[in-house]
Every structure is written in C-alpha cells, then in structure tokens.
Amino acid sequence: MSEFEPKVVAFLCRWCASAGADLAGTSRLPYPPNAIPIRVNCSGRVEPQWVVEALKAGADGVLIGGCHPGDCHYVAGNYKTRRRVYLLRKVLAELGIESERVRLEWISATEGARFAQVMAEFVAALKRLGPLHGNGGAR
C-alpha cells in the first residue's frame, strides 16, 4: 500500500497568505502538494462551519493562513479568527478529533519560504496523526 497522503484544505487570505503561497510557487520552492487552496478575502471570513465541513467532507487537516498581527488589511479579522480557532480546537478535542488538525498560521506576502515550510510541517504532522477518515487515504 502506498504511503498515506493527507488531504489538506487551506483557507488563505487574499492579502497575505495567498500572496505568500503565490510567491512560493513563482520562487519554485518545493513543498508537499497536499493542499487544496481556497482564497478568501480575509482569514476573519473563515467560519468554523467551513472548517468542520472540510473535515467532514474528507480533509485530514485544515490550514488557515492570515496576516501577521497588526498587518490585517481589515484591521482585526485575523484576531477574530485566532479566537474562533482557539474555541473550535477545544470543541474538536472534546469530540475526539485531534486539535492539531486545524492549524492557524500567520504568513505575509513576502514569506513564500515560510508558506512552503508551514505546508511541509503540517503535512508531516498529519502523516503522524494518520488519516481522519477510515479509508486511510487509499486511492
């Protein structure tokens, strides 16, 4: 059987994290191609229901990428998301889902290398956790 390849849904904010991901690409930085990126205008727009929907629909992990503290294009969207993710991870843990499956990272538009590093770390962490869904990522 081939190695388990985690499926990741990445909600990336338009102003920072998504631009960072683009930079990783144009810089030809290698990183695991496990993420389905979804660009949102602000990390503050990411509803906890979307994260849970992604997990229910087959994702093994969800990454939310936003601007660094103080850099949010909409001033405070990333702060709201930080608080939401804090509570959501608690709820997931109580339900028996490892909270590490939901990850919030600050990635600026200039941090292509950081995006690549975050992806590599996250995918490695998810491989250690194993598949969330019973089929074990069999393709």
Partner 1 sequence: MRAKLAVYWTGSCGGCDVSFLELGPGLLDVLSQVEIVFWPALVDAKRQDLERLPPRSIDITLVNGVLRTEENAEMVALLREKSRFLGAYGACAHLGGVPALANQGNGILEAVFGPGFRPAPPFPEAPEDTPPDLLPEALPLDEVVPVDFVVPGCPPPAGLIARFFEAALSGGLQPGQVFAEEKALCEECPRVREERRISRVLRPHEVLPDPEKCLLDQGMVCLGPVTRGGCEASCPKAGMPCTGCLGPTPKAGDPALALLSALASLVRAGEEGEAAFPEENRILDGLVDPIGTLYKYAFAKYGRPLRRLARRREEVRA
> Which residues lie near partner 1 (CB under 8 A)?
47-49, 52, 55-56, 69-70, 76, 79-80, 82-84, 86-88, 90-92, 94-97, 130, 132-134
CB of 96 to partner 1, least distance (A): 3
Residue (30 or 95) nearer to partner 1, CB: 95
Measured distance CA(109)–CA(23) in Å, rounded? 7
CB of 13 to partner 1, least distance (A): 16
**Least distance (Å) between residue 128 CB and partner 1:** 14
| Residue 46 Cβ vs partner 1, minimum distance, rounded to whole Å | 9
* CB-nearer residue toward partner 1: 23 or 105: 105
Q: And the tokens for 73?
A: 């294009």
Residues 6+ apart with CB under 8 A from 115: 17, 20, 21, 23, 24, 29, 31, 65, 107
Assign 64 to helix, strand or coil.
strand
- Which spans in the chain are helix H? 17-26, 48-56, 77-95, 112-129
**Measured between alpha carbons, how far is 85 from 19 in angstroms, rounded to an integer?**
22
Nearer to partner 1, 90 or 128 (CB): 90
Tell me whether residue 83 or residue 139 sits nearer to partner 1 (CB atom): 83
